[in-house]
């Protein structure tokens, strides 16, 4: 059923581009109701407007907290035009029909993000606006609701191309967007209040969504919910895929843990190259040397600006994505020589505090693993203590293994991941595979250190590591047979530290 817009109620916080809508409504002869700052804005445009207070014969009260909450307003929005009883009551109480409602809610989310005081945040909880949205959206058969300034453009198109005439699909689509806006708003408010109480409910809301080329595999649909533009500038290349995004997340989380110039090369969320050096070009060379085979087609993250020397080193490798905090102009020109190569400038750090995973008929939530043990956390359990160089490598190895899928083993020497293995059902297999990989790429394990994401249930890994030349070990400890591993390390003359923290990753 088609409906002509003859009257409109406008009450918004942000006025951006509202002038175009108001002027078009005036051109169509639409009667406009408004209040407060919006009314003043419309009057300043030279457009006739009726104050809501004149409609209701009731003033705005309580410092503006109560303005539109009145039967003459909500009756005009909720009245069913095809219901004779509603029509009769509207005539009896002199309630005018309201065909269009335009609302833009108080900026609650922006006030929270901006670090506003509790008083400021509470005042930004919109009451009248959210009520208008729900009322108009409920009665979409008769009323159009525009619940966000982001939808002004769509409304303006309807006013200009259809002369203010809407059909049921137009109104229902606006209603769906309105309920999206109101549900998001309510979720933000609940989560703000729930910070102090911790009710065990799952409420998350993202208004931005981008359809990807496909999901993990071509037969799977994929969508990313979130606003990547807040954190990234895409400087070159094709669109990020599902698998790209997963590896980008893994790589920037890993490299963010290091203060020295560091490069991480990721394949399927696990590092195949990781190194810290005095310069970013040397860090790249060392990271690439870790596994020159697996680096092909990988995702690279660095924690320093890419200079020309680094770009020239990288340019010969086929890789999918590079993420850096910045690029020198000449370096960027070199890297852009491959048109499909995705180059990302990371504009700000990401502070992940919670991890979510859907499974069975629900969602798992846990705190992010934001802990990495350093020397002060180490408990030396062997007769021999690690040297200063070994301690530095153990700190590096703990970060490396923390970001590998369990069971994981990291072998490190001079702040370079010279051997690793992950995702194994046996920790012995993980260690043996890590040793094999180190040998395959020409690394000498004599004097290297080993980090394990979990404790050793037996002494076998200690014995295998000793045979390979590893001189220092870190593990969480906690096995009922810890002493067997300690005794083996003492027999071998190895240093072992317990960290007290397990880093399973699944």
Q: Active-site positions?
A: 138, 268
Q: Which two tokens stand for residue 316?
A: 């010969």
Starting at the edge strand found earlier in the chain, the sheet holding 262-267 runs: 232-236, 342-346, 321-324, 299-302, 262-267, 270-276
Residue 402 φ then ψ, to 5°: -60, -30
Triad 208, 339, 290: Cα angle to 5°? 90
How far is the first Cα of the chain from the last one, in angstroms, to the nearest whole number?
54
Tokens 């992950």 label which residue?
A: 422
Look-up: residue for tokens 């967007």?
177
Which helix (DSSP H) or strand (DSSP E) does residue 187 occupy?
Answer: helix 168-194
User: If you write DSSP's letter for every residue of 122-184 in order, what string do you get?
Assistant: HHTS-SHHHHHHHHHHHTTTT-EEE-SGGGHHHHHHHHHHSTTEE-HHHHHHHHHHHHHHHHH
Q: At what angle do helices 18-27 and 36-44 cross, to 10 degrees?
A: 70
Among candidates 428, 416, 420, 489, which has minimal Cα distance to 451?
A: 420
Sign of the four-CA dihedral 177, 181, 186, 187: positive
Backbone angles phi, psi at 501, to 5 degrees: -130, 125
Q: How many Cα atoms occupy the beta-carbon half-sphere of 117 within 13 Å?
A: 2
DSSP secondary-structure letter at 221?
-
Give SS3 for 384. Answer: coil
**465 — alpha (psi -120 to 50), left (phi > 0) or beta?**
alpha
Q: What CA–CA distance (Å, rounded) separates 414 from 392?
A: 8
Three-class SS of residue 243?
helix
Q: Which residues contact 340 (CB under 8 A, 6 or more apart)?
A: 237, 238
Structure tokens at 288: 């690439």
Contact 394, 474 (CB under 8 A): yes
Task: Identify the helix (H) or strand (E) that includes residue 450.
Answer: strand 449-452
């Amino acid at each position: 059923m088609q409906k002509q817009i003859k009257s409109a109620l406008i009450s918004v916080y942000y006025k951006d581009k509202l002038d175009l809508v108001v002027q078009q409504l005036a051109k169509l002869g639409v009667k406009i109701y408004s209040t407060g700052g919006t009314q003043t804005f419309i009057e300043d445009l030279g457009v006739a407007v009726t104050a809501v207070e004149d409609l209701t014969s009731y003033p705005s009260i309580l410092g503006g907290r109560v303005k539109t909450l009145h039967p003459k307003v909500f009756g005009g929005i909720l009245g069913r035009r095809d219901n004779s009883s509603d029509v009769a009551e509207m005539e009896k109480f002199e309630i005018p029909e309201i065909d269009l409602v335009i609302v833009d809610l108080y900026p609650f989310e922006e006030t929270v993000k901006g670090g506003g005081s509790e008083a400021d945040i509470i005042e930004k909880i919109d009451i009248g606006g959210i009520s208008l949205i729900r009322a108009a959206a409920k009665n979409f058969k008769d009323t159009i609701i525009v619940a966000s300034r982001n939808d002004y453009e769509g409304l303006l198109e309807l006013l200009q191309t259809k002369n203010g005439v809407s059909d049921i699909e137009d109104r229902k689509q606006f209603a769906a967007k309105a309920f999206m806006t109101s549900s998001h708003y309510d979720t933000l408010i609940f989560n703000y209040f729930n910070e102090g109480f911790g009710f065990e409910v799952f409420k998350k809301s993202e208004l931005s969504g981008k359809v990807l080329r496909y999901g993990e595999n071509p037969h799977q649909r994929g969508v990313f919910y979130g606003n990547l533009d807040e954190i990234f500038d895409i400087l070159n290349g094709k669109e990020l895929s599902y698998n790209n995004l997963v590896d980008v997340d893994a790589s920037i989380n890993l490299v963010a843990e290091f203060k020295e110039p560091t490069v991480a090369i990721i394949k399927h969320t696990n590092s195949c190259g990781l190194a810290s050096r005095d310069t970013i070009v040397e860090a790249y060379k060392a990271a690439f040397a870790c596994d020159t085979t697996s680096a092909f087609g990988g995702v690279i993250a660095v924690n320093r600006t890419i200079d020309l020397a680094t770009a020239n080193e990288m340019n010969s490798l086929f890789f999918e994505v590079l993420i850096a905090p910045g690029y020198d102009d000449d370096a960027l020109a070199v890297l852009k020589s491959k048109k499909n190569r995705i180059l990302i400038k990371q504009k700000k750090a990401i502070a992940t505090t919670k991890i979510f995973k859907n499974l069975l008929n629900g969602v798992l939530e846990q705190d992010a693993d934001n802990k990495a043990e350093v020397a002060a956390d180490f408990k030396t359990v062997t007769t021999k203590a690690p040297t200063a160089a070994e301690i530095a490598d153990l700190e590096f190895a703990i970060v490396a293994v923390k970001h590998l899928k369990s069971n994981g083993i990291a072998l490190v020497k001079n702040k370079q991941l010279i051997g690793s293995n992950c995702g194994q059902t046996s920790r012995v297999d993980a260690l043996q595979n890590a040793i094999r990989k180190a040998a395959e790429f020409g690394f000498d394990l004599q004097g290297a250190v080993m980090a394990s994401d979990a404790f050793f249930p037996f002494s076998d890994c200690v014995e295998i590591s000793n045979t390979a030349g590893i001189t220092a070990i870190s593990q969480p400890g906690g096995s009922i047979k810890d002493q067997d591993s300690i005794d083996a390390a003492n027999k071998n003359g190895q240093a072992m530290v317990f960290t007290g923290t397990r880093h399973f990753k699944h």
